[in-house]
């Protein structure tokens, strides 16, 4: 087995060169494509990253002086080059490449300072930001006041409120941890916000399957309501809306599995089989419907109205619901055992699966619930949520949508119930 310590410090210099080459390749490609002045390309960026790693290597013999002198000289050279380019062009230009140069130097320093993983990750993120310039600017130009407000609200929820909350239980029973409760709010809101951003970037007209996938990431229930209402206004597209509803409901299952993995992965031993059966059944039906019904989807843009997945009031309500579910689960488990937990899951699952998943996963993590009971509670919530969406379609959708979706949901539910029988038998 190869030991990197046998190649010290040469492998670190090599990583620094690769980081510089990656960033330099993107910058050189951009400069050639846009006809911009050649400030720095793949060779220059590679040498800058190597400079950072070499100066960091010298720290143990000469202190911080080499890094300070090299960084100061690099800043001076970059500033002079920028001012010269601006004088030659006669107009003010951006400083994106100049900032990338300084970051590349620091990435080289990080590699030599035993922070190679962080340096590589930051370099990849930097390259993506540089490469996605056109798309990012296009998204910003399409933003409205409401989009900006929602983005700032998510920043408030994730970056301002969360760090201020105490990471300890504040109740006598040790159940309510404000930091952990709000972390669940950030996690679920982040999934919904990411799905909404992807829909804004790619556009709903890219395909009804894609719309169902992204809508399912944000909220499969909200997606079901949206497409059911649209099917009454545009009954001729009911077959395609039905496909999207089934797709969104199927995407809910990987979302649940990801939440479990993020909090308590051992729960997968209980839930993976029935939930995977439901997922495979749903995707098989989507594939069948897609082969059966092919159409031009140019009407999708006017039929689908994107709604913002994040409002501060919604986040607060979810946090309160999550806390209430924790308390109710603790009470029902102490008073009625596993039957009380299952009943609570069935009722709460009619409207939301995430709160149940997060609540029972957190309780299992804190050794306050048996993991088999928690797994069955999640399965019940998923099944009841699917039944709830079937009821929404039945009462609000067109006749064709009702027929297709309800038949599809029956197949999905039977698959889940069949494999859930093994779990109940084991418990």
Indicate if 119 and 190 belong to the same structural domain.
no
pLDDT, average across residues 35-46: 74
Are residues 422 and 334 part of one domain?
A: yes
pLDDT at 1: 44
- 30 in the same domain as 74: yes
Res. 412: pLDDT tops 90: yes
Residue range of the domain that includes 373: 144-426
- Whole-number Å distance between alpha carbons of 138 and 122: 24
What average pLDDT does the structure give for the chain? 77
Instruction: Determine which of 41-55, 210-224, 293-307, 357-371 has the lowest per-residue pLDDT on average.
Output: 293-307
The pLDDT assigned to 408 comes to 93
| Angle formed by the axes of helices 178-202 and 208-233, nearest 10° | 90
Do 102 and 245 fall into the same domain?
no
Higher pLDDT, 41 or 275: 275
Residue finishing a domain among 87, 110, 131: 131
Structural contact between residues 91 and 38, judged by C-beta atoms closer than 8 angstroms: no
Q: What is the pLDDT of residues 174-213, one digit of tens each?
A: 767 888 778 767 765 665 566 566 656 665 545 566 667 7
Evaluate whether residue 374 is within a structural domain: yes
- Reported as a pLDDT band with limits 50, 70 and 90, residue 333 is low
In this structure, are residues 98 and 78 in contact, taking their beta carbons and an 8 Å threshold? yes
How many domains are contained in the chain? 2
Q: Please tell me whether residues 159 and 182 are part of one structural domain.
A: yes
pLDDT of res. 406 = 93
Same domain, 221 and 262: yes
Question: Does residue 157 sit in the same domain as residue 102?
Answer: no
**Backbone dihedral region of 114: left (phi > 0), alpha (psi from -120 to 50 degrees) or beta?**
left
pLDDT in tens, 360-410: 777 777 777 777 787 888 888 889 889 988 988 898 888 888 999 999 999
Residue 289 included in any domain: yes
* Phi then psi dihedrals of residue 115, to 5 deg: -120, 40
pTM (whole model) above 0.75: no
Q: Are the C-beta atoms of 380 and 345 separated by less than 8 Å?
A: yes
Residue 139 lies in a domain: no
Buried residues in 284-296 as b, exposed as e (16+ CB within 10 A): bbbeebeeeeeee
User: Is 138 contained in some domain?
Assistant: no
Residue 276 in contact with residue 204, Cβ under 8 Å? no
| pLDDT tens digits for range 122-170 | 888 888 888 877 777 776 777 777 777 777 877 877 778 888 888 887 8
231 and 310 assigned to the same domain: yes
Write out the two tokens for 385. 């949520």
């Amino acid at each position: 087995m190869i030991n990197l310590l046998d190649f010290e410090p040469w492998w670190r210099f090599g990583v620094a060169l690769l980081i510089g080459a990656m960033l330099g390749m993107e910058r050189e490609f951009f400069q050639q494509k846009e006809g911009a002045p050649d400030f720095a390309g793949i060779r220059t960026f590679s040498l800058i990253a190597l400079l950072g790693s070499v100066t960091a290597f010298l720290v143990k013999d000469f202190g911080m002086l080499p890094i300070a002198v090299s960084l100061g000289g690099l800043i001076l050279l970059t500033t002079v080059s920028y001012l010269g380019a601006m004088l030659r062009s006669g107009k003010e230009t951006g400083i994106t490449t100049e900032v990338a140069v300084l970051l590349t130097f620091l990435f080289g320093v990080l590699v030599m300072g035993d922070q190679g993983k962080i340096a590589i990750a930051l370099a990849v993120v930097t390259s993506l930001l540089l490469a996605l310039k056109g798309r990012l600017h296009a998204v910003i130009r399409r933003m409205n006041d409401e989009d900006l407000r929602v983005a700032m609200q998510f920043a408030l929820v994730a970056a301002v409120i969360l760090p201020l909350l105490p990471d300890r239980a504040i109740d006598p029973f040790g159940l309510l941890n404000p930091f952990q409760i709000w972390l669940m709010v950030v996690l679920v809101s982040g999934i919904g916000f990411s799905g909404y951003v992807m829909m804004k970037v790619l556009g709903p007209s890219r395909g009804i399957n894609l719309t169902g996938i992204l809508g399912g990431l944000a909220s499969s229930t909200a997606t079901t309501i949206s497409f059911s209402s649209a099917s009454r206004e545009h009954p001729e597209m009911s077959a395609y809306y039905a496909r999207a509803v089934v797709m969104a409901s199927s995407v809910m299952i990987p979302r649940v599995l990801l939440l479990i993995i993020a909090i308590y992965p051992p729960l997968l031993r209980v839930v993976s089989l029935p939930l995977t059966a439901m997922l495979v059944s749903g995707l098989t039906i989507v594939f069948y419907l897609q082969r059966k019904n092919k159409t031009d989807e140019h009407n999708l843009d006017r039929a689908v109205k994107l709604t913002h997945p994040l409002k501060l009031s919604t986040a607060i309500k979810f946090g309160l619901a999550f806390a209430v579910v924790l308390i109710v689960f603790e009470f029902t488990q102490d008073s009625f055992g596993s039957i009380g937990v299952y009943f609570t899951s069935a009722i709460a699952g009619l409207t939301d699966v995430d709160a149940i998943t997060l609540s029972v996963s957190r309780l299992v993590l804190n050794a306050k619930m048996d993991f088999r009971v928690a797994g069955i509670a999640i399965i019940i919530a998923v099944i009841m949520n699917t039944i709830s969406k079937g009821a929404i379609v039945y009462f609000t959708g067109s006749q064709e949508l009702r027929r297709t979706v309800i038949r599809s949901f029956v197949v999905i539910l039977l698959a889940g119930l069949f494999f859930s029988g093994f779990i109940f038998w084991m418990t």
